[in-house]
Structure 1
């Protein structure tokens, strides 16, 4: 099994911004206008415009004609993707975005730029298991940030793959702390840990990412770009 992972930058020229704006549906344009800060509005338009261009390559549909539907917990699908088999998930952080495409299996993608503007202790206390907390506390200070974002993107990618949102108890999503990345324990309503594959992404220093796929067989990642 192969997963296509599209890695894109969110910084765009004014001309590119207008083009991506023209691809968006009315609901997307209305949502973009609700962003007060210019950067967030431009990032939203760029990411959703590029998402449409990427999906158009698989669906054979003009990007501006693609229709989306939202499941009960907010996870988006292409309106026709249940028949085409396409599954997708998008993530963005800083000036980076990623889109994972699967041909049959549910998928979740998360990327995070490392930053000190995070309440590490507060998040860990709520979202990490007792064993994960102990491991993090025993790490040298210079290794704690990287480890935090590695585990955080793993957990977030799983949450996005199952599409349960805030209903999921994220501290119960436990993965290996060293060695090959695998799920060790999951919430009871998410199936067996062995039925999900977890992949740590190979990204630039200071950027962590993970993909979760509903498959016992770990997929191969095919990195792609619109450029």
Structure 2
């Protein structure tokens, strides 16, 4: 199925949308009108009202954007979930569109492709109160993190964490995929990439990791199963016009939409 507007994303880019989860009451009411009864019930179960409002804004905006691509009323959309909870669009005629949503603090980020399985993760950078890396990172990742200057530790941790979380979401196996069963690069000397996945020697050439442009207090990543095809991020605005970013990568060269997008 092609979107009604004929807006095909294509093989060279992944569309990324970001928005604030804080919205005025009128906007929240508008988004609530797009939600299913089940989603409204979920929103009502939040202990804190502000968390329920953020859920409504996140899901309502998700429906609005996906409806735009599919040429369908946002409220008519239905979602399916695999055995590990990864969502997809349920449509009687089928659809090639894949999406993934992430949110942290007051910020939401959505990745969409009409070609590739993908995952996105965004995290607010906060000081760590425990050794999370030692519990969840691979041995190689821990050694890389320990080799960074002390002032770069927190930045390195979140670059690694968001890339690993985005990969788990893209892979689709959820928590059944141990976080130490694969390695990602995250030092500034190397491009973002998957370096190892247990049981799949071809994985590093099949998966693509892209660093997400974020506000300075956040880190983020997008991962896609492109099977070797180069792909970049295309940022979309509320006015529904693509903003093709040009950003300096870790090697000092400038790349356009088909290159890696350097965060922050």
Q: TM-score range by the shorter chain?
A: over 0.9
Deviation at 1:182, TM superposition (A): 0.9
Match of 2:229, SS state, is coil
Q: Distance in 1 between matches of 2:168 and 2:82?
A: 14
Equivalent residue, structure 1, for 2:135 = 126
Q: Deviations over 1:23-57 (max 9, x none)?
A: 10011111111110122111111100000011011
Q: Deviations over 1:86-115 (max 9, x none)?
A: 000000011111110011210100001101
Deviation at 1:17, TM superposition (A): 0.7
2:140–2:183 contact (8 Å) kept in structure 1: no
Equivalent residue, structure 1, for 2:126 = 115
Residues 45 and 65 of structure 1: CA distance in aligned 2, closer, same or farther (over 3 Å)? same
Residues 185 and 146 of structure 1: CA distance in aligned 2, closer, same or farther (over 3 Å)? same
* Mapping of residues 82-121 of structure 1, within 5 Å: 83-116=94-127, 118-121=128-131
Deviation at 1:84, TM superposition (A): 2.1
Residues 82 and 92 of structure 1: CA distance in aligned 2, closer, same or farther (over 3 Å)? farther
2:178 is the counterpart of 1:169: yes
Q: Relative contact order (C-alpha < 8 Å, sep 6+): which is higher?
A: 1
Equivalent residue, structure 2, for 1:69 = 80
2:160 is the counterpart of 1:151: yes
Q: Deviations over 1:51-83 (max 9, x none)?
A: 001101111101111111111111111102983
2:151 is the counterpart of 1:139: no
Match of 1:83, SS state, is coil
Q: Distance in 2 between matches of 1:49 and 1:21?
A: 6
Deviation at 1:137, TM superposition (A): 2.1
2:210–2:232 contact (8 Å) kept in structure 1: no
Residues 154 and 115 of structure 1: CA distance in aligned 2, closer, same or farther (over 3 Å)? same
2:26 is the counterpart of 1:8: no
Q: How many residues align?
A: 225
2:194–2:203 contact (8 Å) kept in structure 1: no
2:20–2:106 contact (8 Å) kept in structure 1: yes
Unpaired runs of at least 5, structure 1: none
Deviation at 1:139, TM superposition (A): 2.2
Unpaired runs of at least 5, structure 2: 1-11, 240-264
TM-score, with length taken from structure 1: 0.94
Residues 74 and 189 of structure 1: CA distance in aligned 2, closer, same or farther (over 3 Å)? farther
Residues 37 and 15 of structure 1: CA distance in aligned 2, closer, same or farther (over 3 Å)? same
Which has a greater percent of helix?
A: 1
Q: Distance in 1 between matches of 2:181 and 2:21?
A: 33
Equivalent residue, structure 1, for 2:235 = 223
Residues 204 and 190 of structure 1: CA distance in aligned 2, closer, same or farther (over 3 Å)? farther
Aligned-residue RMSD, C-alpha? 1.7
Q: Distance in 1 between matches of 2:140 and 2:80?
A: 39
1:3–1:222 contact (8 Å) kept in structure 2: yes
Q: Distance in 1 between matches of 2:101 and 2:139?
A: 30
